[in-house]
Amino acid sequence: MPDVTFAGVRVPLAEVQESPARYARALERAKVTPGYALCHCRADHPRQLVIRRYGSLLHLAGWPDDGVHHAQGCDFQKDPGRERAGTGGDTTAAIINGPDGLNVRLDAALIQRDVTPGARAPKTGTATRPTRRRAPLLAFLQTLWQSAGLTSWSGTSMARGWGAVNAMLVAGLGADAKINGSPADEVLYVMRRYEESEREAINTEFEAFIGRISNDGNVSRRSLIVGELGEVADTPYGKSITLRQRRQKYFTSTEFVDHCAKTYAHAWRAVGDGNARVIALLLVERTTKGHLRVVDMAAMLCSSTFLPCDSIHEVSMANRLVAERRIFEKPIRMAANDDMLPDFVLLDTRPATHIEVYGMNGLATYERRKAEKRTLRAARGIPAVEWNVERESLEHIVLPPASVRT
């Protein structure tokens, strides 16, 4: 992890990510003069960083179109060979990742008129372009992770805390991100890492955000909250959901929780598993009695270092790769025409090595897809490691040695 410099302060980037409030005044000064910070991932040529405000805090982000010049393994490094999700000039796309940041059109309304008590959020919104498509919450959550660089691991450390996740998500949103036409910081709250010394500031910021969630019986103004799923509990009237970063309860129905448990089965079963993380993106409204209620959500399974995974077996593989300090990425399907999409890609071998985790053996469609991918890899000269979870233990899987290091 590189050092960064701003207002005469030089500290590891990880410290600024984990405790941004501690450096708030220095970042404020640097934002005025000289107007940027510096990343020292390349000792011979420090790169400029944007100092960007999101909510009440300032965060560091990569300078536009400069990611290619950062060193491999730097959080601000961008590979020009991998196109960002949503780029490509399709103005009807639900998620557009442009030079000013993400522009998202969700299939859930953030403003609901003619409120019916107890009604779930309809899959509608107020579109500015009639032909523009709409994204489900899970697609938006996956895009947030990809834009933030949270689908890759540099091999330079063995840990990633929520403070770093928060900072990377905010940086990945971009300078002028929009969600359903509204500025992202007005409708999306990325939960902050709790710090006792910053408790008052964190509480003030959160209360100001949820204060925008309102319901006068005619118009309901909703918001999105992203954090790590902590607990799903029974209440006298249904269920409550709590995120790990804060003890705030968000109420919902038993039927809704049952629906989520089926829709996001792999993630739901991992709640409470110490080796995994479960990320929740909540669509929250206020009831006419003033309670906060979840009307829609997406859940995503992650490894212990917040790398997205499709099964608990992938979590085990990701945790092993991190422990062995491998450089790798977790591809996410963002395009229908992706004919390969391995579970992981080792980037520290030449050529890159695909890793497949097989856990659905015997299913005809699954076996056919495995055969197709094997044929494609053979034709393209791509080496692969396969783990059949029913036949082999993970520790017996031999990985190719790393030939490329940061």
Residues 294-339: pLDDT tens digits?
999 999 999 999 999 999 999 999 999 999 999 999 998 765 556 7
To the nearest whole percent, how much of the chain has pLDDT over 70?
A: 92
**Phi, psi dihedral angles at 64 (to 5 degrees):** -50, 130
For residues 265-294, give the mean pLDDT: 96
pLDDT at 157 over 80: no
Per-residue model confidence as pLDDT tens digits over 335-352: 555 678 999 999 999 999
Domain residue spans of the chain: 3-69, 95-303, 335-396
pLDDT of residue 60: 92
d(CA 165, CA 163): 5
Tokens (6 digits) for 44: 């011979």
Residue 203's nearest CA partner among 211, 293, 28 is 211
pLDDT digits (tens, 9 = 90+) for 42-84: 888 999 999 988 887 888 998 988 888 998 778 888 765 444 4
Is the distance from CB of 62 to CB of 76 less than 8 angstroms? yes
Please tell me the pTM assigned to this model: 0.88
Q: DSSP string of 353-393?
A: EEEEEE--TT-HHHHHHHHHHHHHHHHHT--EEEEETTT--
Contact 73, 156 (CB under 8 A): yes
Residue 126 has pLDDT above 80, yes or no: no
Given a contact cutoff of 8 angstroms between Cβ atoms, the answer to whether 226 and 169 are in contact is yes
**Mean pLDDT lowest among 72-86, 92-106, 214-228, 352-366:** 72-86
Q: In 137-253, which residue ranges form alpha helices assigned H by DSSP?
A: 137-147, 162-173, 184-187, 199-210
Question: How far apart, in whole angstroms, are the C-alpha atoms of residue 30 and residue 7?
Answer: 5
Is the pLDDT score of 199 beyond 60?
yes
Task: Tell me the helix, strand and coil percentages in the chain, rounded to 5.
Answer: 25, 30, 45
Average pLDDT over residues 15-19: 85
3-state secondary structure of 282: strand
| CA quadruple 341, 310, 61, 335: dihedral sign | positive
